[in-house]
A = this chain, B = another copy of it.
Amino acid sequence: MSSGNDELVRSDNPDHPANLIPSLCAKFWTLGWVTGTGGGASIRDGDLVYLAPSGVQKELMKPSDLYSDGPIRPASRVYLRSPPVFKPSQCTPLFLSAFTRKGARCCIHTHSPYAVLVTLILEQQGKGKDKEFRINNIEQIKGFARGYPHGEVGNLGYHDTLRIPIIENTAHEEDLTEFLEDAMDRYPDAYAVLVRRHGVYVWGNSVEQAKGQCESLDYLFHLAVEMQKLGIPWMSEIEPTLPTRSLKD
């Protein structure tokens, strides 16, 4: 059972999680990431977690539609604050994994068609054996933190290879949790996991980082799909271009 605690989702600050989740989701809807009530987003603020509910029209979500809970713990049937209408999202345990295992502050789940197409292309090519999306030598790769969550080591470089693990989809979204956590363990630097024929989970040390990485990733997925149509490989061997002055030095 949920108590009231409606004050948890009431704030005049547009950067409060209860206001940010609706404004982010409305933006994601226009990008085609959370169409048909798919996808979702969650923000952690200290020990408190804010979650979009299941089945909400993402471009019309209101702060009062949100769940809030804390201190962080495995998803239960009891929340500090529940909306009057909706049910909890099946994404909840996956968002919590990002918070507890990776120390993330924000986790975004999209059904981006480009994410799904990338997993389909790899499945088609690799007979289902290819469990990783790889791309290098594209400037936008710099949009990703290296060795998350240790932000101090900076972002990936242009010549680095971005690797995103792919897990197979399950009949029930919550059953993805252990596979997601396994991928997190195998890719300790991961900030995203693709789900075959489903979409992508992306997280970050802050809302800005999670959103920025989600945008950069979708840009790269879009590019990868177009490269595939044009017969251009995703991985390339390019020698670093040395600036003349470093030759002089």
Q: Does A157 contact B (CB under 8 A)?
A: yes
Chain B CB within 8 A of A1 CB: no
A232 in contact with B169 (CB, 8 Å): no
Contact B178 A244, beta carbon cutoff 8 Å: yes
Instruction: Please report which residues of chain A, range 198-217, place their CB below 8 angstroms from some CB of chain B when the two chains form the complex.
Output: 198-199, 208, 211-216
Known: A38-B140, A140-B38. A57 touches B211 (CB 8 A): yes
Minimal Cβ-Cβ distance residue in B for A245:
B178
Judge if A226 is at the interface, Cβ distance under 8 Å.
Answer: yes
In the bound complex, residues from chain B placing their C-beta under 8 Å from that of A137 are 169, 197
Kindly list chain B residues whose C-beta atoms are within 8 Å of the C-beta of A170: 158, 240-241, 243
Q: CA of A197 to CA of B143 in the docked complex: distance in angstroms?
A: 14
Does A36 lie within 8 Å of B213, measured CB to CB?
A: yes
A residues whose Cβ falls under 8 Å from a Cβ of B: 32, 35-38, 55, 57, 111, 113, 116-117, 120-121, 124, 137-140, 143, 157-159, 168-171, 173, 175, 178-179, 195, 197-199, 208, 211-216, 218-219, 222-223, 225-232, 238, 240-241, 243-246
Cβ-defined contact, A124 with B208, below 8 A? no
Q: Is the CB of B111 within 8 A of A139?
A: yes
Instruction: Determine which of B113, B199, B208, B246 lies in contact with A226 in the assembled complex, contact meaning CB atoms within 8 Å.
Output: B113
Task: Evaluate contact between B111 and A140: CB separation under 8 angstroms.
Answer: yes
Say whether B113 contacts A219, CB under 8 Å.
yes
A138/B116 contact (C-beta < 8 A), A158-B169, A219-B35, A230-B228 known:
yes
